[in-house]
Amino acid sequence: MNRSGTADLRAATAVEVTKDRNGVDQVVLRNRRGSSARVSLHGGQVLSWRTDQGEELLFTSSKAIFKPPNPVRGGIPICFPQFGNCGSLEQHGFARKKIWVIDQNPPPFLQHNDSNDKVYTDLLLEPSEEDLKIWPHSFEFRLRVCLTVEGNLTMISRIRNINCKPFSFSIAFHTYFSISDISEVRVEGLETLDYLDNLFQRERFTEQGDALTFESEVDRVYLSSSDVIAVFDHEQKRTFTIRKEGLPDVVVWNPWEKKSKSMVDFGDEEYKQMLCVDGAAIEKQITLKPGEEWTGRLELSVVHSG
Ligand code: BG6
The predicted-structure confidence for 89-117, as pLDDT tens digits, reads as follows 999 999 999 999 999 888 886 555 555 56
Whether pLDDT at 130 is above 60: yes
CA separation for the pair 265, 62 (Å, rounded) = 8
Q: Where are the beta strands (DSSP E) in the chain?
A: 15-19, 25-30, 36-40, 45-50, 78-79, 101-102, 119-125, 139-147, 153-161, 167-173, 176-178, 185-188, 194-197, 203-206, 218-222, 228-233, 238-245, 249-254, 274-288, 293-304
94 lines ligand 1 (CB under 6 A): no
Question: Could you report the per-residue pLDDT of 44-81, keeping only the tens digit for each?
Answer: 999 999 999 999 999 999 999 999 999 999 999 999 99
Q: How far is the CA of 242 from the centre of ligand 1 (A)?
A: 20
Nearest residue (CA) to ligand 1, atom 15 = 73
Q: What is the pLDDT of residue 144?
A: 96
Q: How far is the CA of 9 from the centre of ligand 1 (A)?
A: 40
Domain 3-304 has CATH 2.70.98.10: yes
Per-residue pLDDT band for 6 (boundaries 50, 70, 90) equals very low
Confidence grade of residue 118 (pLDDT, cut at 50, 70, 90): confident
User: Counting atoms of ligand 1 from 1, which one is nearest the CA of 83?
Assistant: 3
d(CA 73, ligand 1 centre) in Å: 10
Residue-averaged pLDDT of the chain: 93
Secondary structure E strands in 54-128: 78-79, 101-102, 119-125
Phi, psi of 105 (to 5 degrees): -135, 65
Q: pLDDT tens, 216-261?
A: 999 999 999 999 999 999 999 999 999 999 999 999 999 999 999 9
Q: Mean pLDDT throughout 262-285? A: 98
Asked whether residue 238 is marked as a ligand-binding residue, the answer is no
Interatomic CA distance for residues 266 and 250, integer angstroms: 23
Whether residue 151 contacts residue 51, with contact meaning beta carbons closer than 8 Å, is answered with yes
Q: For ligand 1, what atom is nearest to the CA of residue 85? A: 8
